[in-house]
Structure 1
Amino acid sequence: MGERLYLHRHSVTHLLPSHIKILAVLAFILVAVSTPITRWQTFIALFALVIAAAFFSKIPLLLLFKRALIEIPFVFFAILMPFFGEGERFEIAGIQLYREGLLAGTSIVAKGSLGVLAAVILSTTTTAREILRGLERLKLPTVMVQIASFMLRYVNVISDEMERMKIARESRGFIATGIKHWKVIATSAAALFIRSYERGERVHLAMLSRGFDGNLPSLGNPVVTTRQWFTALSLPGIALSTSLLFLAIGW
């Protein structure tokens, strides 16, 4: 499950070390969030940069936008914002809208979309394990990295066990049809939790018996060249330069 987002391609982005790709995405999101929504020309340029990054990463645009649909719940929330608020109001097709609410909603949609698209490019060009390794190189707390690593490793195991429990229930004639069956579902969920907890204890004991000292083994840190740094940081660098340029000329 953790690797399903990765799309294998031979591109410059795929070959970049994961930790500098993470830094590049964070820097790009920071630039996007710091840009006022009233400077719409800058946001057009930022969206163009994201599309260009997807093109150079050999990611189909249809796949890019399909995965970006995860932000739809936030878009629905942003659509309601122009109808509520304070301050200046104006009318469009007989509907009263608030200027501040419209700007806030547009800001959420634009900046959120840029962040989601950048994250989709990262997850599509980097395996989940490489992302965890990159976070480790960026000095994220070791405990957090280990928890995420084990979650990634055993999520498929837990998912398969849940599916087996479902098949066992259905083979005995049980089919959930309403609220009256919630008790059975809750009991199954509790049993799955206990099994997962016991599995975690067994895995931990097995690790201790093999000399685990609190640190997971590392495959080593590859040398990152200046060219790779330049390539990865070119996206946020161009975004920042574009934002400052438009600010200087008054756009």
Structure 2
Amino acid sequence: MSSPTKPLDPIEREALAWTQSARFLTTASRLDQLPPPGLPEVAFVGRSNAGKSTAINTLAQHRRLAFASKTPGRTQHINLFELGPADAPDTLWADLPGYGYAAVARGAKLRWQQVMADYLEHRHSLSGIVMMVDSRHGFTPLDRQLLAFVAPRVGSGEVRLLVLLTKADKLNRTESERALVDAQTVLAEVATDESDIGVSLFSALSRKGLGDAACMLRAWVGKPVARGPQA
């Protein structure tokens, strides 16, 4: 298994204090039901069994902020969460429907996929994407399709991208290093400016990569931090 995680440093604790402010704002099944674009938005995407909701809850240090079900594919809407002071929020997180779960009815799946695609392509306030990829399997064909879909906005510098290699507690050191190298190879094709893309091993169970991810998300919205994710 992977080695124990390092203690959080003061900068990571400060960033996590910010992510802990996340609170539910609204849910929408169509883009026209969302609030008008304003605050910077960070979208969380991933396969239905990649641990997306669990990762959001871990970052927010809240057990049920995002609904994490034992049945993949339960997120059927865009769920928005607000961060920052209650009287002066500075960021929105968007939990998008998971993709790739075969048991979902085809009609519903196509509708969710279209809503997600419309959001990722057209939402003007979208400033960052956090993509969950199961570290044990790497980028699946569906993951690569989504990556190719967002590549124009990421490659232009309009939207930043952070890939969290989830369930990293299941890997030993050699497997972890290989997962990172493989992910970096895939991501090198998306943007020439590496500052717009990050990748980090992540585990909700061991909290590996938690502080690093919080620091990058905080930096995305103009909050000063000393560094971004480290392998």
Normalising by the smaller structure, the TM-score range is under 0.3
Q: TM-score, normalised by structure 1?
A: 0.22
Greater Cα radius of gyration, structure 1 or 2:
1
Q: TM-score, normalised by structure 2?
A: 0.24
Query: Higher RCO, 1 or 2 (CA under 8 Å, sep at least 6)?
Result: 1
Task: Answer 1 or 2: which has greater helix percent.
Answer: 1
